[in-house]
Amino acid sequence: MKQGDLFNLDEGLRLKREGMESAAEHYETDLELGKSIARRICREWGTVHAEDVNTELAFYHNISSLGNAAGSLFKGKDWTFTGEWHQSTRSSSHGRFIRVWRLTNG
């Protein structure tokens, strides 16, 4: 990265988008499974967050992580951010807060 791009929001967002697209392609099958799980959980519980999906992927499908593809789980018009946050219990997440989602059209 060039020095001039060190503090460049547009460049940072471009790199984020490229990284998510690349990860989504690499983990395409796992990501589709994750999206399916997210929809089912949301229909059952009303809301869902990435940790719900990751927990099921780990316990029932032996998938330890979606990596950067996890950022694509809730992309698109099907999902609405509830305004709520969940503090992750996954040790590698260092207690960060993640968004809670609901299906836009139930």
* Short-list 63, 44, 47, CA closest to 55: 63
Per the listing, tokens 């029932």 go with 60
Q: What is the tens place of the pLDDT at every residue in 43-69? A: 999 999 999 999 999 999 988 888 777
pTM of structure: 0.74
- Between 73 and 13, the higher pLDDT residue: 73
Asked if pLDDT for residue 37 goes beyond 70, the answer is yes
Task: Inform me whether the pLDDT recorded for 17 exceeds 60.
Answer: yes
